[in-house]
Amino acid sequence: MVHTTVRLASGPGFAIDDLRIVEDSRAWSESAGGLECRIVFVRRGLFRLHHRNWRGVVDPLVAYVRPPGAEQRISHRPHVEDACTVVALDEALLGDVTEGPLPDRPVRTGAALDLAQRTVLARARSGAAGFELTERVLRLVAGLCGAADDQPDHRSTPAHRRLTESARELLATDPARASLDGLARELGVSRAHLSRVFRAETGETLTRFRRRLRIRAALDRIEAGATNLATVAADLGFADHAHLTRSMRAELGDPPSRVRALLARSERDHRSSS
């Protein structure tokens, strides 16, 4: 079992941590809470979360809020690293962002919001000034609350929720998975049923979900210092470097070169700056 929390930056009313966890089993953690509000953006991995009145799977396409005093339990996949950006806020700073209730369940994050949280992480690692980080954190939290307001209201059935969560886990484990046929066969359902249920549960197609997962995985590789985009493209199931570039531009509005300028931080640089 490995739990690593690196405090990258802190300022008046906030702190930014890089959290990485590798567990030995799927056993649920002990119930844990905290005095501050914590916003958790999943960057890599997938785990089950029992959070307030919600239980389900979180993956790199979501973020969630743990309010002050709220407890949670987590079940990780064994021997797989989960990496998260954690932003802790005090009550005063939180009040500057929103007057309404915080999201009570995970929020699906769009490309702009994900890039914003990765930029906050990169700027914190590079030692950006507290003034800049405070402003970025405020925009990030406001963006998350806005995204929560846009979530579809859908009444799910347990069977459909389990099927969707199983599909999310398989795709998150292997974003390069190429065959819908194989995915449906592994889940024991027809392609049509899987496609229909997944879209009803998540509001997006399996193709769109898989593409967004692959872009997030590419961002994670770039953030870790990858420079050979042809290798990244091949590893993640893109046809070639050009396909990755087109997909990233369509998703983020910027090509990999621009994204690298914002995010690329090699592990060597990260270690030397910590």
Q: What is the CATH number of the domain that holds 174?
A: 1.10.10.60
Kindly write down the DSSP assignment for every residue of 90-116, as one continuous string. -HHHHHHH-SSPPPSS-EE--HHHHHH
Q: What pLDDT is stored for residue 139 in this prediction?
A: 92
Q: What pLDDT is stored for residue 152 in this prediction?
A: 63
Q: Is the overall model pTM greater than 0.95, yes or no?
A: no
Q: What counts of helices (H) and strands (E) characterise the chain? A: 11, 9
C-alpha dihedral (19, 208, 50, 186), degrees to nearest 10: -110
Domain count, the chain: 2
Which residues form the domain of 120? Answer: 2-149
Residues 143 and 18 in one domain: yes
Task: Go through 243-268 and write b for each residue having 16 or more CB atoms within 10 A of its CB, e for each that does not.
Answer: ebbebbeebbeeebeebbebbbbeee
Question: pLDDT tens for residues 76-107?
Answer: 999 999 999 999 998 888 888 777 778 888 99
Residues 163 and 244 in one domain: yes
Q: What pLDDT is stored for residue 267 in this prediction?
A: 37
Kindly write down the DSSP assignment for every residue of 188-212, as one continuous string. TS-HHHHHHHHHHHHSS-HHHHHHH
> Which residues, including other chains, have CB under 8 Å from residue 192's CB and lie 6 or more apart?
none
274 belongs to a structural domain: no
- Which parts of the chain have pLDDT scores under 50? 266-274
Residues 178 and 197 in one domain: yes
Q: What pLDDT is stored for residue 242 in this prediction?
A: 94
Say which DSSP state 19 is in.
Answer: E
Q: What crossing angle do the helices spanning 111-125 and 241-252 adopt, rounded to 10°?
A: 100
Residues 145 and 230 in one domain: no
